[in-house]
Amino acid sequence: MSKLAEFRRAERELQEQLALLEKLQGDSGLKREMEFEDKLKALMADYGVDLAKVVTILDPQPVEIESPAPAVVKTRRPRQVKVYVQPVTGKRIETKGANNAQLKAWKAEFGAEVVEGWRQ
């Protein structure tokens, strides 16, 4: 980004922030909150009390917010490797599921029960 573009961006952001500041300064609710804060700080200084003590006085037994229980993450146990050995050719297949092309071909050719018999 060029220096000029960076400057223009920063200048635009500054103008937006100044506009927001002016809007907030005109807000009567903000003025009342600021007045309250000033008076509260003056009272705290007069009595030598800090903010924690004021909170304890106003709410002696704070309400404990209950956080939701963490969700239990269920993990699947890993699938076991199944080993099939074709007795005639000696070809070996290791798979964790039944979605193996060669295993499907064997089951189609020899039958599922026969192929399951080849399982080691």
The pLDDT score that the predictor gives to residue 120 is: 84
Residues 55-102 have pLDDT tens digits of: 888 887 766 667 777 778 888 888 889 999 988 888 998 988 878 888
pLDDT for 15: 94
Domain ranges of the chain: 3-58, 82-117
Read out DSSP for 32-48?
HHHHHHHHHHHHHHHHT
Per residue in 19-53, pLDDT (tens digit) is: 998 888 888 888 899 899 999 999 999 999 998 88
Q: How far apart are CA 64 and CA 69, in angstroms?
A: 14
What is the pLDDT at residue 13?
A: 95
Contact between residue 77 and residue 112 where contact means Cβ atoms under 8 Å apart: no
The whole-angstrom separation of Cα 114 and Cα 120 is: 13
